[in-house]
Structure 1
Amino acid sequence: MGNRNGFKIRDSDLHELERSIRILNQTEIIHIYKRWHQLYTAYSGEEQLPSPLDVEGFANLEASLPNSYIMNTMDELQMNPFKDRIVKVFSLSGDRLSFEEFLDMVAHFSYKMPAKRKVPIAFRIYDFDDNNIIGREDLKMMMDRLTGEDDVLPDETKTTIIDKVFEEACKDSHSVGLNLFDFKVVLSKSPDFDLTFGFNL
């Protein structure tokens, strides 16, 4: 019953996860669960977590971890300036990730995931105020995070860059921000998007 590498996931759960994710096979899903299990058992928070296994010894897919713990513990996220946004986008609760949500996140950052399925996720990550529009403040915040604490890019330069983005991507010169279609136009001019928006677990 889905027992590989010492981790038991019910066959029905494996098939459902494989069907919903589509780009990962069962071996890859179990590999990701193994990493999840390591994170879960290593968590040293004050709260008493439920067992990562159910009463029959199979994987408890409802178990969850705090977003803050995942983004500050995973090597693949620790140095990412958008790590808080990444985990939040995949969290239904807004502050915790279940294994299924963790799997969804890893799948979308997999190099196997087609770019067209990554774009809507990237849009949500950069939409800092979650209003379904990437406005000027969102773009400025994006640049601030990319340049970090040693930001040497003058505000005037950032404003010029933002103006240029709006000019090239927005059909409406009076637009208050980029919608998903506009965002796709911007990314179409970034051929390395698929390489930069990903990691191997």
Structure 2
Amino acid sequence: MEYELVRSRRRSLEVRVFPDGHVQVRAPQRLALRHVRAFVDERRGWIEKQQRHMAERPRQRWRHGDHCTHLGDTLSLELAAGRRRVARHHNHLRVTVPDPDDERQVSDAVHEWWRAQARPLFQARIEALFPWFAARGHDFPVLRVKKMRTRWGSLSQRGYINLSLLLMQYPLAVIDYVVMHELCHLEHMNHGPDFHALMDRRMPDWRRRKMLLEG
């Protein structure tokens, strides 16, 4: 199996499958190549499943009558020409842009609408889930909302919690799962047994929520 190997000062192995099927493996600087190969072999089934899933996933279209999801709800797009504006009305998302036949304009307008809501929503979810970590002596992480296409969240050692803008498509249960996942990295900066044991304690149904995210 072909894959891109990226070495860094991390302590664990991680594999990512990008929307185009490209596979990237991130590994510690000095880890022997045979361990990397063994890791990829162990994950081969999962990697191939993700590649199939990416290939079968329909591309989001932004035309009148198409559908998009917002916080887990399926909304029908109603497009019109005019000054940029986005508003939800029940099960419809009304999007006004100068040229409604330009899918990029429609997409940009909806993403801008999401961004305006994402920061206060994500911040509130972090605050709701953080007290246990605060009691453990951790500093409150600084939120950054990014339009990430290859991952849903990350936690940096400099104290930033990065969350994908595209989480605005999913229900709060899924957003909380991603937030909890990143907060647990305050205790364990890897995905080893201790990390998963902590996830089990803090969010016993996290695997079900993860399945909703992975579709």
TM-score (norm 1): 0.30
Greater relative contact order (Cα < 8 A, sep 6+): 1
Q: Which has the higher helix share?
A: 1
Q: Which has the higher strand share?
A: 2
